[in-house]
């Protein structure tokens, strides 16, 4: 399905034009909310929101904890658009659909993408409830040829062979660390690994991912980052550690309800961090 389905530039443009004609907001910052983190969108002032089902060509969220709304508004004086729920490979969508909103954001004028997710920790030094700044990622589905940049390259968005050695903007990373220090908020910095899901990892898989150098693992984010970087956006990523990945056969099993529970408990801290982060973005990027 993924190899056959292609989306042309005109499709993205039609959706972008529809949104621009239905909202007065012209966002420079986009925020993608992970499982249970949709309350980030509630921070926006002067909101205008749209159900995904009302937006032309938009996929639909099917996962618990993903509301399925696009919210435009202002955060600390900066105009933003926030996705309350994202799309996943395991829902049956090809990656060109999973990442469809990112290219639409580019066409409406977004310059900085903030991605958040719920993730399981592989690092022994991480605790449930920790926040991890993503410094790099491992695209495990990409090793098997699952990449949103597959197919004919659209030069109107970016290069055929985009470099990913600096996928996560170093200046934004430093800004986040400075804000955390100011807020006295302890954070981790680590490598996020994407797996296809929807099942959680086996013990052997978890041990393997840890040996690869991954600190946290989840089922999203990387395709969106690839497309954002391809489009020339600046990218910043945060993982909320919602569980310890099972690395021993007698460990307690993970479930999605537990993930959502931790997300709810720690949403306030994440909201504060994201709010201050957006407020201090360079005026040339986010005004």
Q: Which residues are catalytic?
A: 35, 66, 88, 90-91, 118, 219-220, 243, 256
The token pair that represents 113 in the structure block = 């993408």
Neighbours of 143 (CB within 10 A): 9
Separation between Cα atoms, residue 236 and residue 234, nearest integer Å: 7
What residue has token string 């977004």?
110
Q: Which two tokens stand for residue 250?
A: 């007698």
**Alpha-carbon gap, residue 231 to 66, rounded angstroms:** 25
> Which element (helix H / strand E) includes 71?
strand 69-75
Q: Is 148 exposed, middle or buried (0-12, 13-18, 19+ CB in 10 A)?
A: buried
């Amino acid at each position: 399905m993924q190899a056959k389905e292609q989306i042309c530039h005109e499709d993205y443009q039609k959706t972008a034009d529809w949104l621009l004609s239905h909202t007065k907001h012209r966002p420079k910052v986009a925020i993608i909310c992970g499982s249970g983190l949709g309350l980030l969108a509630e921070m926006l002032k002067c909101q205008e929101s749209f159900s995904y089902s009302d937006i032309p060509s938009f996929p639909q969220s099917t996962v618990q904890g993903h509301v399925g709304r696009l919210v435009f508004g202002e955060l600390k004086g900066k105009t933003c658009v926030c996705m309350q729920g994202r799309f996943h490979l395991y829902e049956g969508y090809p990656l060109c659909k999973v990442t469809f909103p990112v290219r639409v954001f580019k066409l409406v004028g977004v310059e900085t993408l903030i991605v958040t997710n719920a993730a399981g920790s592989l690092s022994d030094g991480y605790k449930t409830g920790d926040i991890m700044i993503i410094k790099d990622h491992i695209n495990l589905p990409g090793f098997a040829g699952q990449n949103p940049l597959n197919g004919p390259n659209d030069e109107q968005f970016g290069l055929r062979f985009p470099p990913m050695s600096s996928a996560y903007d170093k200046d934004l990373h430093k800004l986040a660390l400075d804000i955390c220090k100011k807020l006295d908020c302890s954070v981790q910095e680590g490598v996020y690994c994407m797996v296809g899901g929807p099942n959680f990892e086996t013990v052997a898989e978890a041990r393997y991912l840890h040996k690869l150098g991954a600190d946290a693992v989840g089922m999203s984010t990387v395709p969106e980052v690839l497309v954002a970087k391809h489009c020339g956006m600046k990218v910043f990523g945060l993982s909320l550690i919602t569980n310890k990945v099972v690395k021993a056969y007698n460990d307690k099993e993970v479930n999605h309800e537990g993930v959502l529970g931790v997300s709810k408990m720690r949403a306030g801290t994440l909201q504060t961090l994201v709010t201050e982060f957006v407020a201090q973005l360079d005026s040339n990027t986010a005004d």
